[in-house]
């Protein structure tokens, strides 16, 4: 196969300093192949959010390049890039800004120009994928937190993105909602980049992990291997929950 | 607020009035109010006619009178102002029950009361038969500046979120033994209000980020195209047209 077409996301030499002089990224390089699920791990302040905001061109102006399925992130293709990179933000109340679930899910595709039956069908499909079809006409505020997070995922899926970027997808979820979201993410046929501190969740969902620390990719490898490397983990302030041993966990279930 | 607010004003139903497209209803209410306001205050019969027209609409919309009257209570502060007018206005005076009242003031009070009540009643009927969401769609369709529609729809969406945040801050304050008693505590309340403002502002920035990430470029995409047929427009405009006839009769008779 042609190597270019199988790469969903390529980040090369990305460095960025905020206007106040704080440098958050010091040359980040990695690629994510189409269909992969990759976890981006790192302690607070490692630059994870800064990196995410570069993926769809919200932040620009540093050096280096971000390429999404062969298209370089830049002013010229911004609309297309934002359609291809679906970011699910941490707080669903920030993500769900329309009066009803349906309109929220329709927002992205409608902004891209889809109308009428095509739009309706897209909304139904996205809500169906996250199991929220019957909540279509409800206001987002009346849903539980787990349901809101799922709708937030649907709002992004409705844009049929090349890559789904999730910022702390498991935060504030109860164990059942957490498992439901994992099932949903596993069932999706889409490239996933998951930013998280939740190491067991990363192990469960992502065969591969990147560790971002002090603005560079400090490690890139199999999630189970990285989590088992105690020296590496300690060096980057990553800690497993009490009693959790990545070596004793059964192999994660495959894509269902 | 938000949907909770909508539930209180809105009365779910399937009447012919509910079924009309929102922008036709908004236009009808606006035209009706304009007609009412431009009626001379001496044309008492015309006002009775308007009230009868609204009663007909309420009947068609299956809005019970009790519901309508309770919602009319919002008008009370204006009524209080109207009641003052006969006492404070200048000019010729009459004696009513031993009180010396200004004739001009009486007419003024009647004017405010009649026109205000009719306007509020028409708006209550609109709100009772049109969901808040639909009102926004209707305003959008009537080419209200998109920025205003967006601001209003964000108010609808985030009212609950901000109220919730306010409640959490109050609980946090009270959990640490704070009770607002008297002027000395106003400082704390003011700081809470400031913190709430900053939180909301920051949320606004995050929401904007989420919108931009999904292709927002300054204009809300049209998701629901509301359209009205000629027949629907005719039905909606029946109210202001009938009111106009009553008004003209009021001028000429």
For A102-124, the pLDDT digits (tens) are 989 999 898 888 888 999 999 99
**Could you tell me if residue A253 is inside a domain?**
no
Of the candidates A222, A217, A219, the one whose C-alpha atom is nearest the C-alpha of residue A13 is A217
Residue B137 predicted with pLDDT over 50: yes
- What pLDDT does residue B153 have? 85
CATH number at residue A177: 3.40.50.300
* CA distance from start to end of chain B: 46
**Residue B192 C-alpha, separation from nearest chain A C-alpha, in angstroms:** 21
Q: How far apart are CA B242 and CA B55, in angstroms?
A: 13
**Could you tell me if residue A167 is inside a domain?**
yes
- What pLDDT does residue A246 have? 85
A145 touches chain B (CB under 8 A): no
- Cβ atoms of A239 and A197 within 8 Å: the answer is no
Residue A220 predicted with pLDDT over 90: yes
**Residue B46 C-alpha, separation from nearest chain A C-alpha, in angstroms:** 40
b (16+ CB within 10 A) / e for B164-180: ebbeeeeeebeeeeeee
Residue A27 predicted with pLDDT over 70: yes
Domain range annotation of chain B = 2-139+227-252, 145-213
Here the tokens at position A97 are 């800004």
Task: Give the mean model confidence (pLDDT) for residues B156-178.
Answer: 83
Q: What is the mean pLDDT of chain A?
A: 89
**Could you tell me if residue A27 is inside a domain?**
yes
Residue B3 predicted with pLDDT over 60: no
- What pLDDT does residue B1 have? 37
pLDDT grade for B17, boundaries at 50, 70 and 90: confident
**Could you tell me if residue A148 is inside a domain?**
yes
Residue A255 predicted with pLDDT over 50: no
- Cβ atoms of A38 and A209 within 8 Å: the answer is yes
List, as ranges, residues 9-48 from B with C-beta within 8 Å of A.
none
- What pLDDT does residue A253 have? 60
For B68-101, the pLDDT digits (tens) are 888 888 888 888 888 887 777 777 777 777 777 7
- What pLDDT does residue A5 have? 54
Classify the C-alpha dihedral A100-A105-A108-A112 as positive or negative.
negative
CB contact under 8 A, A99 and B161: no
- Cβ atoms of A170 and A181 within 8 Å: the answer is yes
- ipTM of predicted assembly, 2 dp: 0.77
Task: Give the mean model confidence (pLDDT) for residues A154-173.
Answer: 93
A128 touches chain B (CB under 8 A): no
Chain A residues touching B161 at Cβ < 8 A: 93, 141
CB contact under 8 A, A93 and B161: yes
B173 touches chain A (CB under 8 A): no
**Could you tell me if residue A60 is inside a domain?**
yes
A159 touches chain B (CB under 8 A): yes
CB contact under 8 A, B203 and A56: no
Q: Which pTM does this prediction carry?
A: 0.77
In A, minimum Cα distance to B1 occurs at A141
- Say what angle helices B2-9 and B132-141 make with each other, to 10 degrees: 90
The domain total for chain A is: 1
**Could you tell me if residue A256 is inside a domain?**
no
Local structure of residue A253 (DSSP, 8 states): P
Which run of H or of E encompasses A202? helix A199-205
Task: Give the mean model confidence (pLDDT) for residues A130-136.
Answer: 93
Range of the domain at A201: 4-244
B170 touches chain A (CB under 8 A): no
Q: How far apart are CA B222 and CA B205, in angstroms?
A: 23
Residue A192 predicted with pLDDT over 90: yes
């Amino acid at each position: 196969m042609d190597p270019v077409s199988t790469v969903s996301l390529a980040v090369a030499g990305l460095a960025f300093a905020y206007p106040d002089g704080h440098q958050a990224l010091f040359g980040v390089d990695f690629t994510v192949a189409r269909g992969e699920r990759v976890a981006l791990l790192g302690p607070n302040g490692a630059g994870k959010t800064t990196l995410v905001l570069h993926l769809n061109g919200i932040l620009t102006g540093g050096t280096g390049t971000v390429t999404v399925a062969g298209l370089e992130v830049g002013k010229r293709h911004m609309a297309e890039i934002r359609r291809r990179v679906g970011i699910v933000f941490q707080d669903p109340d920030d993500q769900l800004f329309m009066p009803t679930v349906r309109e929220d899910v329709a927002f992205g595709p409608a902004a891209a120009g889809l109308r009428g039956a095509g739009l309706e069908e897209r909304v139904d499909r996205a809500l169906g994928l996250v199991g929220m079809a019957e909540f279509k006409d409800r206001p987002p505020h009346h849903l539980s937190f787990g349901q809101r997070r799922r709708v937030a995922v649907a709002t992004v899926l409705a844009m049929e993105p090349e890559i789904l970027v999730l910022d702390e997808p498991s935060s504030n979820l109860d164990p059942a909602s957490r498992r439901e979201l994992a099932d949903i993410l596993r069932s999706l046929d889409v490239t996933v980049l998951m930013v998280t501190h939740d190491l067991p969740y990363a192990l469960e969902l992502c065969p591969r992990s990147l560790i971002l620390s002090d603005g560079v990719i400090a490690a890139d490898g199999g999630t189970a291997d990285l989590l088992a490397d105690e020296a590496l983990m300690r060096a980057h302030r990553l800690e497993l929950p009490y009693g959790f041993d990545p070596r004793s966990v059964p192999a994660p279930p495959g894509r269902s | 607020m938000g949907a909770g607010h909508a539930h209180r004003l809105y009365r779910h139903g399937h009447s012919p009035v509910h079924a009309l497209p929102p922008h036709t209803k908004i236009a009808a209410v606006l035209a009706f109010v304009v007609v009412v306001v431009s009626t001379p205050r001496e044309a008492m019969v015309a006002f009775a006619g308007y009230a009868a027209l609204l009663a007909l609409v309420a009947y068609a919309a299956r809005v019970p009178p009790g519901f309508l009257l309770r919602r009319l209570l919002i008008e009370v502060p204006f009524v209080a102002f109207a009641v003052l007018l006969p006492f404070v206005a200048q000019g010729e005076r009459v004696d009513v029950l031993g009180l010396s009242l200004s004739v001009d003031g009486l007419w003024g009070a009647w004017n405010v009361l009649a026109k205000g009540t009719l306007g509020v009643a028409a708006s209550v009927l609109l709100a009772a038969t049109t969901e808040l969401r639909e009102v926004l769609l209707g305003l959008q369709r009537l080419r209200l500046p998109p920025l205003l529609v967006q601001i209003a729809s964000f108010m609808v969406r985030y009212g609950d979120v901000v109220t919730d945040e306010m409640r959490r801050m109050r609980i946090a304050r009270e959990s640490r033994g704070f009770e607002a008693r008297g002027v000395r505590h106003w400082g704390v309340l003011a700081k809470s209000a400031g913190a709430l403002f900053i939180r909301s502002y920051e949320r606004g920035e995050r929401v904007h980020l989420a919108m931009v990430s999904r292709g927002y470029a300054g204009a809300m995409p049209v998701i629901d195209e509301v359209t009205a047929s000629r027949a629907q427009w005719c039905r909606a405009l029946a109210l202001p047209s009938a009111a106009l006839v009553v008004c003209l009769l009021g001028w000429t008779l």
